[in-house]
Amino acid sequence: MKILMVAGARPNFVKIAALIGEMRKHPEIHPVLVHTGQHCSNEMSGAFFSELDIPCPDYDLGVRPDGVRMQITEIIQGLADVMFRERPDVVLVVGDVNSTLAGALAAKGLGIPVAHVEAGLRSFDRRMPEEINRVITDGVSNMLFASEPSGVENLLREGRPPESIFLVGNVMIDTLKRALKRMRDIPLPTLESLSGPRGLPDRYAVLTLHRQGLVDDRALFGRVWSVLQWVGRKIPIIFPVHPRTQFRLREMGIEQAGGNSCQSATGIHMVPPLGYLEFLSLENRAAFVMTDSGGVQEETTALGVPCLTLRENTERPITVIEGTNTVTGLDPENICREVRRLLSGDTRQARVPSLWDGRAAERIVRVLLGHFEPERQMLSARSDVATTAYKDYAATMKGGWN
């Protein structure tokens, strides 16, 4: 059974690591990994392969950021060529980035079944590019693997067949649990130099910001940054800076000098993007985390670390209902109020969701084997149909993605 997996951004690799690790236990599965190149630097993706024990990709499309529409078009075209060459039984996509959408559309155009891991998550905010990617990907997928009950509810509400939906848990937590075991045995000396020769403070907060809706709005980002400066005077903040955010900070006159920089007047310690194990260790030791990332909301819930989500909504409500997450919105007064609450020691009771047990990838692979193995010979026999579909699709794609 051949499973073609598409990945292109850091969150994808965390999920793919658990899935490919599970597939290695099954000799009847032939995984094919395609890296689209969406995150191409070593800081943003390369280090994840070695840290998470992900094999080198079978294909690297090398597509570089050049506008969302052009990027998606190039990824679809590259993936269509790979899929035609490999003839997979199923294409598996994860998450909600541009590579996820492109992988689903390329497979759909060739008549190849699509499996979406992390299906059904909804922020109900169509201004978010990720929300559009989720909705379209789910709309063309044949198998929908949900990480939490809200995903199942959303998919049923949208009219998806119940037999196509599987509540399997969260593959990110599979990877996290394995990483925690490694962290106990592997020293991470680079953490000790993040904030200068004195090392990490005993008590600190962690910050991540990268969403276009926040960092690309200069007025909004300026207001939030003023709040963060206030927070930094209450507790040191370790801030791994995303490339997009770094560019916006420079526009605002806030430089990240050299590799490491400390905004000493505000207590905000800006550092380059971190590897997975480094960042996980940083999260695990933090007093609390402030973020606009979806994955960080899940990681902090699994770690039991308080999280403040600097957004107006979340597509992961289980992290609020059962976990450690609080959605603050972007109002400065509300952010300050929530920070004061955490600094006073007022933290909410929380628990890890029941299926976030480190076995989500096992459940997904079991479902895939049960679904596709009886059909494998039939699908392979339809190569003439696949050839016709590819030729028609390739001709359409010459005109660009519309």
Q: What is the pLDDT of residues 125-158, one digit of tens each?
A: 999 999 999 999 999 999 999 999 999 999 999 9
Tell me, what's the pLDDT at 257?
A: 40
> By residue range, what is the domain housing residue 147?
2-170+356-397
Cα distance between residue 302 and residue 356, in whole Å: 8
Domain identity same for 81 and 207: no
Yes or no: say if 372 and 2 are a contact pair by the CB < 8 Å rule: no
Which of 15, 18, 10 is closest to 36 using CA atoms? Answer: 10
- The whole-model pTM stands at 0.88
Domain identity same for 164 and 248: no
Q: Report DSSP state, residue 241.
A: P
**Angle, vertex CA 38, rays to CA 35 and CA 41, nearest 5:** 90
Q: Buried b vs exposed e over 248-272: b needs ≥16 C-beta within 10 Å?
A: bbeeeebebeeeebbbeebbbbbbb
Domain identity same for 196 and 292: yes
Domain identity same for 260 and 376: no
The verdict on residue 183 lying in a domain is no
Domain identity same for 37 and 103: yes
The verdict on residue 387 lying in a domain is yes
Tell me, what's the pLDDT at 320?
A: 97
Tell me, what's the pLDDT at 278?
A: 87
The verdict on residue 175 lying in a domain is no
Domain identity same for 79 and 207: no
pLDDT tens for each residue of 59-70: 999 886 665 667
The verdict on residue 210 lying in a domain is yes
The verdict on residue 163 lying in a domain is yes
Domain identity same for 198 and 296: yes
Domain identity same for 243 and 134: no
Listed as ranges, residues in the chain with pLDDT below 50 are 189-190, 257-262, 377-383, 386, 398-402
DSSP string, 144-205: EEESSHHHHHHHHHTT--GGGEEE---HHHHHHHHHHHHHTTS--GGGGGTTSTT-S-SS-E
Tell me, what's the pLDDT at 219?
A: 92
Structural domain count, the chain? 2
The verdict on residue 179 lying in a domain is no
| Tokens representing residue 67 in the block | 């506008």
Domain identity same for 327 and 389: no
Q: Domain of 218: which CATH number?
A: 3.40.50.2000
**302, 321, 343 - which closes a domain:** 343
Tell me, what's the pLDDT at 196?
A: 57
The verdict on residue 177 lying in a domain is no
Q: What residues are labeled active site? A: 210
pLDDT tens for each residue of 194-226: 655 556 778 999 999 998 889 989 999 999 999
Domain identity same for 307 and 368: no
Domain identity same for 16 and 56: yes
**298, 313, 343 - which closes a domain:** 343
Tell me, what's the pLDDT at 301?
A: 98
Tell me, what's the pLDDT at 158?
A: 97
Domain identity same for 38 and 73: yes
The verdict on residue 182 lying in a domain is no
